[in-house]
Amino acid sequence: MRISLARARLELRHTFRIARSADEFRESVIVRLEENGIEGLGEAAPSPRYGQSAESAERALASIEGALLEPAGHIEDALERAAGRLAGEWAALAALDIALHDLLGKRLGVPLYALLGLDPGKTPPTSYTIGIDTPEIVAEKIREADGFPVLKVKMGLGNDREIMETVRAHTDRPVRIDANEGWTRDEALEKMRWLEGLNVEFVEQPLPAADLEGVRWLAERTSLPIFADESVRVASDVPRLAGTFHGINIKLMKCGGIREALRMIHTARACGMKVMLGCMIESSIGITAAAHLSPLADYADLDGNLLIRNDPAAGATTLNGKLVLPEGPGLGVTLREGPAANALERSSAR
């Protein structure tokens, strides 16, 4: 099997500001696996929150030779071997996992959702994310989110009330809040009590990842469901969160790909928890891979590709906010021609 890598510079439509960071662009590493004339596509969208960068992901992927992933259809075994080499580079692992699933689907001639035995009609709507910004830009983003039935609003930088007032001045659609670990316990309690009356579905990660005691304290005092994002990475993290968080946010880039995401979904279900599928800022390669799993989720926040203006790929789309899966085999993703292709920069072939 032949592996090649390309760096993609994903330009954001707006500066993407959350409680801990602000970005004008994000970099992904696109992986191509080629075997017998069939190409599998994958993407690593590394997160600085987990100590990763495009450089570190690329370096990790460059340590994988094609023979390590053979035979390509034995995905569990191939990923177990790869994981040993990719210590801590979960986005890089996700890229290989996604590409191997794409390759398998193409070889069998079936879309990934069919390979997983899922009904493509059961995809949920995706929320559309409003980053932290001035009232003028927040209003502009709400206009861009027209047609999406749910908004995800980022908080945690001190202007939370101003942002929520702007949102409510423009729309009465339900809102999901994500504080990205940005609140203290007292602040979270005050904000969540205020948010209870504002048509909010749930609050994601109000407190720092390790503060489970704080989440239990909050849950006893507020009625809004609380979802874990930074507090949960893989399936083995899930059981200790049961009874504290109401649900978990699963991201392929955080957990290492489709295989681990499936384990997380089933573990969460066994623990009586809700499941959300989320994303980083990603191209349509990573987003489409997660979208194929979305018939298993209660909620989707798969809008990373919608927040960039030079998506180098085309795959899953939305219709009135609902995710629409492509019909092609594997991921059903194609690389775009023209200006968006400039986002891709071939960095190595081996």
- Residues at the interface with Mg ion (CB under 5 A): 178, 204, 229
The verdict on whether 133 is a catalytic residue reads: no
List the structure tokens of 71: 């035979």
Q: How far is the CB of 179 from Mg ion (least distance, A)?
A: 8
Q: Are 69 and 82 in contact (CB under 8 A)?
A: yes
List the structure tokens of 309: 């203006």
Q: How far is the CB of 290 from Mg ion (least distance, A)?
A: 14
List the structure tokens of 186: 């007292």
The verdict on whether 154 is a catalytic residue reads: yes
Q: How far is the CB of 83 from Mg ion (least distance, A)?
A: 24
Q: How far is the CB of 192 from Mg ion (least distance, A)?
A: 16
How far, rounded to the nearest angstrom, does the alpha carbon of residue 260 sit from its chain's CA centroid?
Answer: 13
3-state secondary structure of 330: strand
The verdict on whether 229 is a catalytic residue reads: yes
Residue among 91 and 118 whose Cβ is closer to Mg ion: 91
Residue among 97 and 204 whose Cβ is closer to Mg ion: 204
- Strand ranges inside the chain, DSSP E: 2-18, 21-35, 38-44, 128-130, 151-154, 175-178, 200-204, 226-228, 247-250, 274-277, 299-300, 313-314, 317-319, 322-324, 334-335, 344-349
Residue among 102 and 229 whose Cβ is closer to Mg ion: 229
Residue 42, amino acid: G
The verdict on whether 187 is a catalytic residue reads: no
The DSSP element (H or E) to which 102 belongs, if any, is helix 90-108
The b-or-e profile of 63-99 (16+ CB within 10 A means b, else e) is: ebeeeebeebeebeebbeebbeebeebbbbbbbbbbb
Q: Are 234 and 255 in contact (CB under 8 A)?
A: yes
Q: Can the peptide bond before residue 71 be classed as cis, meaning omega within 30 degrees of 0?
A: yes
Residue among 132 and 344 whose Cβ is closer to Mg ion: 132
Q: How far is the CB of 205 from Mg ion (least distance, A)?
A: 5
CB contact set of 200 (below 8 Å; sequence gap of 6+): 174, 175, 176, 177, 224
Catalytic residue among 27, 102, 181, 204: 204
Catalytic residue among 106, 154, 191, 254: 154
Residue among 43 and 204 whose Cβ is closer to Mg ion: 204
Q: How far is the CB of 155 from Mg ion (least distance, A)?
A: 11
Catalytic residue among 89, 102, 133, 178: 178
Residue among 35 and 204 whose Cβ is closer to Mg ion: 204
Q: How far is the CB of 298 from Mg ion (least distance, A)?
A: 16
Catalytic residue among 27, 58, 89, 229: 229
Strand pairing category for 317-319 and 313-314: unpaired
Residue among 160 and 229 whose Cβ is closer to Mg ion: 229
Exposed, middle or buried, 46 (CB in 10 Å: 0-12/13-18/19+)?
A: buried
The residue count of the chain comes to 350
Hey, which residues are catalytic here? 154, 178, 204, 229, 251
